[in-house]
């Protein structure tokens, strides 16, 4: 379908606000943990963004994030945990059935069996794990009539799958065409491709936001806070995975209080023309970050 997920949030202009950003909401943790040094506010040109609430040093772990929803790619279906995407032992002996790395993951899976994130989300809603509007806060893709038509075909397939599973009609009353297209429009531009869990930090400097259908990765996941980070071809933060689907955000350099935190959506090692083409074709915007302005 698409090589990369479409991204239609806002045009990007990498210039930090000259005045303090409007605070949308902040994050806190339990008393036993220190609060992450970030806040979410409005940028001058890119809509919502994530800002440092205090100075952050190079290499500091800014925060971790568990996914709202995740799913292994079909190529990794029998080699990683069906819930957390952690690699399974080579001698696990799993050939025909999905498996879990622990009883905890098996219990939390709630019988989720659909191969696409939107179908897994529907199962989570039916199981009472999340509400139907859990993704509403995320920015959706602007859909063309052609894309909506294609989505309607997938919606019909989902309805048949649910009906064939003998799920009560009142349990899946929320599964309408409107709900399906709205959820998929958000998943398509907010899903992260989980690359090489267990790799080193240096091996995972670049980030690609992938379409749900991407099979080159271990899996895909949608997060709340990481989805609010804006793009920069010379980012000051990186997102990476070490063991499972839980994401970690680390600072690439010193970040001052009030500075916006940005990650790179693509392979930052590509040249200017390649980056611009992929960002435009795959995400729907031309990047105007400082690196791109210099055509580096």
pLDDT at 92 (0 to 100): 54
> Quick one: tokens of 111?
């019988």
Instruction: Give the model's confidence band at 152: pLDDT under 50 very low, under 70 low, under 90 confident, else very high.
Output: confident
In the prediction, which pLDDT does 116 show?
Answer: 62
What is the pLDDT averaged over residues 208-215? 39
Strands of 69-72's sheet in order across: 69-72, 219-222, 191-194
CA angle 248, 207, 67 (to 5 degrees): 45
Say if residue 148's pLDDT is above 70. Answer: yes
User: What pLDDT, on the 0 to 100 scale, is given for residue 237?
Assistant: 96
**Residues 87-138: pLDDT tens digits?**
888 765 544 567 888 888 887 765 443 336 888 899 889 989 899 999 999 9
pLDDT of 165 above 50: yes
pLDDT digits (tens, 9 = 90+) for 234-279: 999 999 888 889 999 999 999 999 999 999 988 888 999 999 998 8
Other Cβ atoms closer than 10 A to 29: 10
Burial of 233 (0-12, 13-18, 19+ CB in 10 A): buried
| 233 pLDDT higher than 90 | yes
Pairing assessment for the beta strands 247-251 and 237-240 based on DSSP bridges: antiparallel
Arithmetic mean of pLDDT, 78-91: 84
More confident residue, 97 or 69: 69
Domains of the chain: 25-293 (2.170.270.10)
Q: Output the pLDDT for position 47.
A: 82
pLDDT-derived band at 12 (thresholds 50, 70, 90) equals very low
Tokens describing residue 110: 């709630």
Distances (CA, A) of 268 to 76, 204, 230, 239, 273: 26, 11, 14, 13, 12
Q: What is the mean pLDDT of the chain?
A: 77
Selection from 91, 70, 95 nearest residue 241 by Cα: 70
For tokens 């001698």, the residue is: 91
Contact 236, 212 (CB under 8 A): no
pLDDT at 111: 42
Select the more confidently predicted residue: 283 or 270.
270
User: How far apart are the C-alpha atoms of 273 and 279, rounded to whole Å?
Assistant: 10
Average pLDDT over residues 197-223: 53
How many angstroms separate the Cα of 272 from the Cα of each of 6, 268, 280, 285?
A: 19, 9, 12, 14
Count other C-beta atoms under 10 Å from residue 286's C-beta.
11
Any idea which residue has 């297209």 for tokens?
181
pLDDT at residue 6 in the model: 30
Per the CB < 8 A criterion, the answer to whether 98 and 77 are in contact is yes
Q: How far apart are CA 59 and CA 254, in angstroms?
A: 8
Range 68-94 average pLDDT: 80
Give me the helices (H) in the chain, please. Answer: 103-109, 117-127, 145-164, 177-190, 272-283, 290-293
Q: Which residue has the higher pLDDT, 200 or 261?
A: 261
Percent of the chain exceeding pLDDT 90 equals 33
Q: Give the per-residue pLDDT at 158.
A: 84
pLDDT of residue 210: 36
């Amino acid at each position: 379908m698409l090589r990369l997920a479409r991204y239609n949030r806002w045009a990007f202009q990498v210039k930090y606000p000259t005045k303090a950003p409007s605070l949308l909401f902040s994050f806190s943790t339990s008393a036993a943990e220190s609060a992450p040094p970030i806040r979410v506010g409005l940028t001058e040109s890119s809509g919502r963004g994530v800002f440092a609430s205090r100075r952050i040093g190079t290499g500091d772990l800014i925060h971790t994030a568990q996914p709202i929803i995740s799913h292994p790619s079909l190529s990794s279906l029998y080699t990683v945990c069906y819930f957390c995407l952690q690699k399974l032992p080579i001698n696990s002996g799993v050939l025909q059935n999905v498996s879990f790395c622990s009883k905890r993951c098996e219990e939390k899976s709630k019988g989720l069996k659909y191969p696409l994130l939107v179908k897994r989300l529907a199962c989570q809603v039916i199981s009472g794990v999340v509400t139907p509007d859990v993704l509403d806060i995320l920015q959706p893709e602007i859909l063309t009539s052609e894309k909506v038509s294609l989505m309607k075909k997938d919606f019909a397939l989902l309805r048949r799958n649910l009906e064939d599973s003998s799920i009560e009609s009142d349990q899946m009353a929320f599964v309408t065409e409107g709900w399906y297209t709205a959820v998929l429009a958000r998943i398509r531009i907010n899903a992260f491709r989980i690359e090489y869990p267990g790799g080193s930090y240096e091996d995972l400097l670049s980030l690609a936001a992938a379409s749900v259908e991407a099979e080159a990765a271990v899996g895909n996941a949608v997060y709340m806070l990481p989805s609010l980070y804006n793009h920069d071809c010379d980012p000051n933060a990186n997102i990476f995975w070490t063991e499972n689907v839980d994401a970690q955000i680390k600072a690439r350099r010193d970040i001052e209080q009030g500075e916006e935190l940005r990650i790179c959506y693509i392979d930052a090692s590509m040249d200017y023309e390649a980056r611009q083409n992929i960002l435009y074709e795959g995400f729907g915007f031309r990047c105007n970050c400082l690196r791109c302005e210099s055509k580096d």
